[in-house]
Structure 1
Amino acid sequence: METKLKTAKINFGVESAETIFNAIIHGETTQTALYGFINRVGTNKRNTSKALELLKDHKLRLKQNARASRTVRTTLNPYSAELAKGRDVMDIIQPVLSAWRLHYAKQGIGLMNDQVLILKMVEAAAALKKLTGEKVPDMATAG
């Protein structure tokens, strides 16, 4: 019976950290294989160290994204239930629109619900642009 040696899918000794990172992320190799290489060779070359650092950062981003996703779902949960019951979005946001209208009225600015809604969308687009660095298509922003 002939034994075939399993060929390496990536040469950790010569590939760049980014190539190693991408290979692990896309399933071409594993982090376990990278650790095996490091332990077998007995060295922690710059590219393998950097790849491990990239993986650590990637896992942290995934964890932060999952946490943010849970926060959004938790915030929306009661409203999603209302929407599922057939309640109109405008009925749900009416108390907030009324509060903003009152706030602006105290400043001497009379606005209709639609104007308040557009104003808040413009402010939200500006906040999103600040977060992402990208302009929201077809949406003018303040400032």
Structure 2
Amino acid sequence: MINTVFASKIDLWLAFLILGFSLLLILVPVGEWIYNNSSIKRTIFISLFTMPGAILLLLIFFSVKYSLSDDELLVNYGFSTRSISLKDITQITPTNSTLSAPALSLDRIEIIYKGGSIVISPKDKDGFYHAIQERVPALKNDGNDGLIKN
């Protein structure tokens, strides 16, 4: 089966927060140079601290995605990719957990598998559930908008 890629759902408030903070980190050295008439050396020095943070935030923001192959789920975020074997998934449940996760929305699902769990937020949750069930027929609806392995 061909890989299916699901984008992360993005909450508007979180997008404004991340993009706004990134813009602020970019504007700090620009403001220092324009409004404080700082030397180019000082502006470059300040940029060395602010630009990597802005780039990292933007990289994480634009790279969160979830890919399904025939036998694994790949969760990509920033410089990291987590691989989860589909046969190890035991339960998928909706959650509004605020714990740190590769998810850009609070409309999340928790995937519990042998050895751990991960919280994600696919934009097309129904499509994600359907794609998982196609690959793992043992996962059935649990009656609470989730899936559980029989």
Is TM (by shorter chain) over 0.5? no
Q: Which has the larger radius of gyration?
A: 1
Q: More helix per residue: 1 or 2?
A: 1
Bigger relative contact order, structure 1 or 2, given CA contacts below 8 A and separation 6+? 2
Q: More strand per residue: 1 or 2?
A: 2
TM-score, length basis structure 1 = 0.27
